[in-house]
Amino acid sequence: MSATIYDSKPLAARMAEELRAEAAQFRKRHHRPARVAQLVAGHDAAAEVYSRQLVRSCRAIGLGCATLAYPFEIEEEELRAEVAALNDDANTDGVVLLLPLPAHIRQRIVTDDLRPEKDVDGLGSRNAGNLLLGFPSFIPSTADAMLAVLRDADLSVAGSNAVVVGRSNIGGKPVALVLLRQNATITICHSYTQDLQERRYPRGEYGTAGQYHC
């Protein structure tokens, strides 16, 4: 099978256009811009790159973006109180919790405080559960982007063998579930997989490569 290199730029431009129109409609209807709040605890180089990109994207589309930064030392209870306040804030429509959180904060406790309808990254158990069960949910962005690309390229993966490399909660697992929902046969490989090089492509018509998380 020959490979096709897919150019995502036209799709990205079209999606930005659609989102701008949607954001403008929201503004008209609600007399305020839709607003995302991102919570950043401590410093992480990768998270900060992601955070700046989010601010830029929001600005380009016409969304409000509030960046709430906390020192590394913030207690779990304090962070939970901040999340609870955003849950109740009628002017905040989506909340992004930048990962990783400082090690003394239990991620699953904080992500589960987030109201599912504001958990736009799909980090909490309600959204994850609905993704697993095949019900409507927010889907972590890598998997969601892959869906958009498949749709744009008019590729059907039904009956195909898809190999997913990596099994993180925001990468490999949601990607695999999205492909399964599209009727692909899925194989999830990871750091314990013995014959990764051999498995990766000979049988898999579609491959996605992520990171190795255990």
Binding site for a second copy (CB under 8 A): 108, 124-135, 158-159, 161, 167, 169, 173, 177, 180, 183-190, 192-194, 199, 214
Q: Which residues contact 198 (CB under 8 A, 6 or more apart)?
A: none
User: In the numeric block, which tokens belong to residue 96?
Assistant: 């992004």
CB of 56 to a second copy, least distance (A): 29
Whose Cβ is closer to a second copy: residue 141's or residue 185's?
185
Whose Cβ is closer to a second copy: residue 145's or residue 180's?
180
Whose Cβ is closer to a second copy: residue 91's or residue 125's?
125
Start-to-end C-alpha separation, the chain: 32
Whose Cβ is closer to a second copy: residue 61's or residue 98's?
98
CB of 183 to a second copy, least distance (A): 4
Whose Cβ is closer to a second copy: residue 37's or residue 163's?
163
CB of 44 to a second copy, least distance (A): 20
CB of 194 to a second copy, least distance (A): 5
CB of 45 to a second copy, least distance (A): 25
* DSSP string for 35-100: EEEEEEES--HHHHHHHHHHHHHHHHHT-EEEEEEE-TT--HHHHHHHHHHHHH-TT--EEEE-SS
User: In the numeric block, which tokens belong to residue 208?
Assistant: 């996605």
